[in-house]
Structure 1
Amino acid sequence: MSSMPRTASRTTSLSGSACSLVVCRGCCCGNARKHPGTDHEGQLEVLRAAAAEHGFRIRTTDCLGPCDQANVIVVGPSSAGRRAGGRPTWVGFATDDDSTEEVVRWVAAGGPGVAEPPVTLELQFIDPPKDARVRSRR
């Protein structure tokens, strides 16, 4: 995650109307044995720093379900984005710096319903499982 600043900040909720991220950190996502070349903690640090800087919310969860598409991040729309038709967008295979940075840029620009996602990030959009449940671990 070299091109974005890192911080140990845990401040992750700034506004009830902002976009939100749910970052899977269950059995497969965030697992160094499954993805040994990925800095999972570094990814969370980058996302938390961006949340503090840009005013969006972030939380982690135990498992979102599509383990074969790990790491999974769900991008929730802001209130304005939801009013404009934006819906939660599931991003799979978020295991590298580029995809993490693209998620941050998209959310900082307004996210679902407000800003167009980068084309390369769109290639990582996945369908949520039918029985998706989110259990937060803050």
Structure 2
Amino acid sequence: MRVTVCRDCCCGSARKVPCLDHDEQIRLLGEVAEVRVTECLDVCDQANVIVVQPTPEGRAAGGRPVWLAFVNDGHATADVADWIRAGGPGLAPLPPILELHRFSGPRR
């Protein structure tokens, strides 16, 4: 499974999100998925943004990428990691707590 983590002008910024160890967030997610760090995803008002991609099995089961906003503390990061361990998009239902973070990504 792949997780895309936005790290640019706002996401990953200690100035905008001071209560999170941004490097630790990437390390924790890297324990359960391949982490791809990217530049701006154009949703700066919702920093920190993470996109969870389904595995091939998850995609075959109907899973699609899930965009998560405001993943700004260790608890939210742990919730994302737990969902990935359970299978992620298409294979495990999105926990209710993560539904609060879910949003539609920008159309490009």
TM tier relative to shorter chain: over 0.9
Q: How much has 1:130 moved relative to structure 2?
A: 0.9
- TM-score for both structures, normalised by structure 1: 0.75
Runs of 4+ in 1 over 2 A off after TM superposition: none
What is the aligned-residue identity percentage?
49
Distance 2:61 2:25 in 1: 29
Q: Secondary structure at the match of 2:5?
A: strand
Q: 1:14: which partner in 2?
A: none
Aligned 8 A contact 2:53 2:65 in 1: yes
CA displacement, residues 3-39 of structure 1 (integer Å, 9 cap, x when unaligned)? xxxxxxxxxxxxxxxx210000011000000111111
Amino acid corresponding to residue 127 of structure 1 in structure 2: S
CA displacement, residues 42-89 of structure 1 (integer Å, 9 cap, x when unaligned)? 1112112x23xxxx3211001111110000000000011000100000
Distance 1:26 1:57 in 2: 19
Q: 1:86: which partner in 2?
A: 63
Q: 2:29: which partner in 1?
A: 47
Aligned length: 108
Amino acid corresponding to residue 29 of structure 2 in structure 1: L
Pairwise CA RMSD:
0.9
Question: In terms of Rg, which structure is larger?
Answer: 1
Q: Secondary structure at the match of 2:79?
A: helix
Q: 1:111: which partner in 2?
A: 88
Where does structure 1 lack aligned partners over 5 or more consecutive residues? 1-18, 132-138
Distance 2:50 2:69 in 1: 7
Where does structure 2 lack aligned partners over 5 or more consecutive residues? none
- TM-score for both structures, normalised by structure 2: 0.95
